[in-house]
A and B are shown apart, each in its own frame.
Chain A
């Protein structure tokens, strides 16, 4: 059974524990600027929205990569960047319509969420269950993926 991250803006308090956990897990530093999950703040609505890669089926980043540096992890479904193969051309960063694969100016490679190999640090760190890692079919990500597919794919 494939799992995916379920992000719930209603439950998010904007505590940024997820960003801390992600940056520590992936970059070895507590530095939200290096996190692959981001919490967006809507002051006027008093709301927070955690957001990261949906591991979408279309995989715009993967198809746009000219050197086969992005592949699908068959166990988790995550689209993963092979840092050895990535040349840093950034074509994936403009191809992804969700804006969730980004160029890292320090490593000269691209970064994205890889679901931490199936045990995402952000979900473990979230104190309010705004981020949970659950059966893919139950997640609201389907909704976002549908939005993407609705208008972006070549289907009728």
Chain B
């Protein structure tokens, strides 16, 4: 039996390890198209902040980790897939036969259709190679424009500032992290950044990028304003890596459609992680979540199903994110925007940069947003995913939403 995994990010690596945990004999090939050992993009901000070395981003620390598990780590790029012959075609003319295939190719940053976006002063911040370029380009006092204040923009924001950038953030939406935070929360984060000396332009679009006179770039904003910049960091979102599936019968929408066993529309082919469009716990629809915990869950379930182990059926992942924006910590879970005909509990303390919002459907917690909280935040996930009826704890939470931990203890009979 030969298991082939395309993509050596967290989903690919965890799947390979899970396969090996339950199957000591089969051959496992893990294909990654970047030159480094498998690493975590999540760790790149901390590399840019110089908190860690490149090795600190590696998913696994042992030098012989993959060899020890007899996982054949192959640095190559998949250029085609023949689902009839069960073959994967690699860039170096090699062809691999597979019995079971996992597609965990992740995503790539979107290049927005803006004139001048390919100029040398424009960078994504996605790979280790990108991080090295950014590190080389930012000197203390460099004028840097960050295009996009979504999740990725916000997690790299602090690193850009710590490297000495004089930063301007340009975001199309009317607030920061508009797809993760409501208006109050997104604007609280915006004000925090402005208070820290960052220029934040929301409801603003970059129209064109040109080579500048005094500085490297001249960035034209809609409405005729122009920003001078040494570097433009483009962080306007990511898209699943599915282009290589074009001539196959694997069904895709935004990402690769998977069932609750992580199988694609083609037998013996599975998908996991950022490339997969799988069940969302809250909406009941198939979505691309592109978050680390979901990738880890997908990978374990996919591997078990590739081995035909019983009971590995996906219950859907709660979409969730945690952000640290210049020291202001925020998180959102599930239906943070609220459910149809649901109601909410809210505590808004803008002076102290604190915000807590709970969303209910009937007496079940279905979503939450926090700003300025670091203790017991995970219990929000527990309450959402366990669908626990809060009963008399709902009015209590509406009075004081900070008592979520108490509500968990009371409803889980720890007190009984």
Chain A residues near B (Cβ < 8 Å):
7, 9, 38, 40, 42, 45, 47, 49, 51, 60, 63-64, 66-68, 85, 87-105, 108, 143-144, 147-148, 150-156
- B374 and A105: CB pair below 8 A? yes
CA distance A97 to B329 in the complex (A): 18
Within 8 A of A (CB), among B250-294: 292-293
Residue of B nearest to A147 (CB): B412
Residues in B whose Cβ lies below 8 Å from that of A66: 10, 40, 42-43, 59, 292
CA distance A56 to B381 in the complex (A): 16
- A64 and B296: CB pair below 8 A? yes
- B413 and A51: CB pair below 8 A? no
- A87 and B376: CB pair below 8 A? no
Residues in A whose Cβ lies below 8 Å from that of B414: 7, 9, 49, 51, 144
Residue of B nearest to A151 (CB): B386
- B409 and A51: CB pair below 8 A? yes
Residues in A whose Cβ lies below 8 Å from that of B56: 67, 85, 87
Residue B46 at the A interface, CB < 8 A? yes
- Which of B167-175, B195-203, B306-314 is found at the contact surface with chain A? B306-314
- A89 and B42: CB pair below 8 A? yes
- If over half of A's interface residues share one DSSP class (helix, strand or loop), that class is named, otherwise mixed; here it is mixed
- B292 and A91: CB pair below 8 A? yes
**B47-59: contact bitstring with A at CB < 8 Å (1 yes, 0 no)?**
0000110001111
A sample of 8 inter-chain contacts (CB < 8 A) reads: A51-B409, A67-B58, A88-B324, A92-B378, A97-B382, A98-B382, A100-B378, A103-B329
CA distance A104 to B243 in the complex (A): 41
CA distance A60 to B408 in the complex (A): 17
Residues in B whose Cβ lies below 8 Å from that of A148: 382, 386
Residue B415 at the A interface, CB < 8 A? yes
**Count of chain B residues near A, Cβ 8 A:** 55
Residue B21 at the A interface, CB < 8 A? no
CA distance A68 to B381 in the complex (A): 22
- A99 and B378: CB pair below 8 A? yes
Q: In the complex, what's the smallest C-beta–C-beta distance from B145 to chain A, in angstroms?
A: 25
- Which of B97-105, B315-323, B343-351 is found at the contact surface with chain A? B315-323
- B313 and A156: CB pair below 8 A? yes
- B379 and A91: CB pair below 8 A? no
Q: In the complex, what's the smallest C-beta–C-beta distance from B154 to chain A, in angstroms?
A: 13
Residue of A nearest to B46 (CB): A87
Residue B385 at the A interface, CB < 8 A? yes
- If over half of B's interface residues share one DSSP class (helix, strand or loop), that class is named, otherwise mixed; here it is mixed
Other CB < 8 Å A-B pairs besides A97-B378, A153-B315, 19 of them?
A: A38-B376, A42-B406, A45-B415, A64-B296, A66-B42, A68-B61, A96-B381, A98-B379, A101-B378, A102-B374, A105-B374, A143-B413, A147-B413, A152-B382, A152-B386, A154-B297, A154-B311, A154-B312, A155-B311
CA distance A155 to B379 in the complex (A): 21
CA distance A96 to B385 in the complex (A): 11
- A147 and B322: CB pair below 8 A? no
- A47 and B385: CB pair below 8 A? no
Residue of A nearest to B260 (CB): A154
Residue of A nearest to B415 (CB): A9
Residues in A whose Cβ lies below 8 Å from that of B241: none
**B32-71: contact bitstring with A at CB < 8 Å (1 yes, 0 no)?**
0000000010110010000110001111110000000000
Residues in A whose Cβ lies below 8 Å from that of B300: 63, 154
Contacts A99-B376, A99-B382 given; does A49 touch B415 at CB 8 Å: yes
Residue B138 at the A interface, CB < 8 A? no
CA distance A60 to B61 in the complex (A): 20
Residues in A whose Cβ lies below 8 Å from that of B406: 40, 42
Residue B79 at the A interface, CB < 8 A? no
Residues in B whose Cβ lies below 8 Å from that of A154: 297, 300-301, 311-315
- A90 and B409: CB pair below 8 A? no
Residue of A nearest to B14 (CB): A63
- A155 and B313: CB pair below 8 A? yes
> Among the listed B46, B314, B378, which residue makes an inter-chain contact with A98, where contact means beta carbons less than 8 Å apart?
B378
Q: In the complex, what's the smallest C-beta–C-beta distance from B262 to chain A, in angstroms?
A: 10
- B293 and A91: CB pair below 8 A? yes
Residue of A nearest to B52 (CB): A87
Contacts A64-B296, A151-B387, A152-B385 given; does A90 touch B375 at CB 8 Å: no
Residues in B whose Cβ lies below 8 Å from that of A151: 315, 385-387
Closest 10 CB pairs of A and B: A97-B382, A99-B379, A99-B376, A66-B40, A96-B378, A87-B46, A99-B378, A103-B374, A66-B42, A90-B322
